[in-house]
Amino acid sequence: MRLLLDLGNSRMKWAAHAPGAPDFIARGAVPYGAGSIVDRWPLAQPPEAVWLCSVAGPARTEAVAQTVSRSWGAPVHPIASQPAGFGVRTAYAEPQRLGADRWAALVGARSLGSGPVCILGLGTALTGDLLDAQGRHLGGIIAPGRQLLRRSLRAGTAQVVTDAPAPEVEDGEEGVGRTTDDCVAWGVTHSLIGCCARIAEVARARLGADVALLLTGGDASWAQPLLPFASRIEPDLVLRGLAVIADD
């Protein structure tokens, strides 16, 4: 059994996986600062090896790798983007600059089927990636996510964003606010959902009307009912890609 780790910007997702198995034995998420995966490990046996995908920065990545290696004595295998592999070929002229999480998500999406897909990653950042039926990555987008959009208003204005919790907006509401907090919530929502809708239009134009729209990331469930198109949530695309890479 091995441990798969997806180190994002705000939390660490993990899965226990047996080689070649179609499903995970167990999975979960740990916010940074809330203890280590070693402390929260729910299984009786420790993993024999660890496969790690990280966009969390070198210091945090090294700290996690040292913790699992020291506690369990398991070898740690960090992954990096490749020009091609596992049925996927990247569009980047410098493949090493494609985020490891986006590479793993492309591999994970490819493992789910051979049709064209548009992956929308709704986390700290909003990412979108297009993958055609032959496994060719056509490129993507990167934009601020929901919380980053709100923080940018806080950083760039003196009186707009307050310390109050951000109000939630729901599909079917009128789309404008009558308080500053509501106006910010709607502005952020329209910005993010509008960006998603536009990249979906690009995906349909490039890949055809049958392109599958896959949502992943912490804000996927929030965004799905607000989006003007049919989509499917795949919360573990990065971990699925890690499992494929580890099986090689």
Asked if the structure places residue 227 within a domain, the reply is yes
Judgement on whether residues 32 and 136 belong to the same structural domain of the protein: no
Q: Which residues contact 39 (CB under 8 A, 6 or more apart)?
A: none
Judgement on whether residues 120 and 213 belong to the same structural domain of the protein: yes
- Centre a 10 Å sphere on the Cβ of residue 127 and count the other Cβ atoms it contains: 22
Judgement on whether residues 36 and 125 belong to the same structural domain of the protein: no
**Full residue range of the structural domain in which residue 36 is found:** 2-78
Judgement on whether residues 22 and 70 belong to the same structural domain of the protein: yes
pLDDT digits over 151-198, tens only?
A: 888 777 766 666 655 567 665 567 888 888 888 888 999 999 999 999
Say which of 6, 39, 101, 219 is annotated catalytic.
Answer: 101
Strands (DSSP E) found in 35-191:
49-54, 76-78, 84-85, 88-89, 117-122, 125-131, 137-144
Q: pTM of the full predicted structure?
A: 0.92
Active site residue 101: yes
Q: How far is CA 36 from CA 33, 64, 130, 195, 203, in A?
A: 8, 8, 34, 35, 38
Q: Give the whole-angstrom CA distance, residue 87 versus residue 107.
A: 7
13: domain CATH number?
Answer: 3.30.420.40
Domain final position from 22, 55, 78: 78
pLDDT digits over 83-134, tens only?
A: 999 999 999 999 999 999 999 999 999 999 989 999 999 999 999 999 999 9
Q: Give the whole-angstrom CA distance, residue 106 versus residue 73.
A: 30
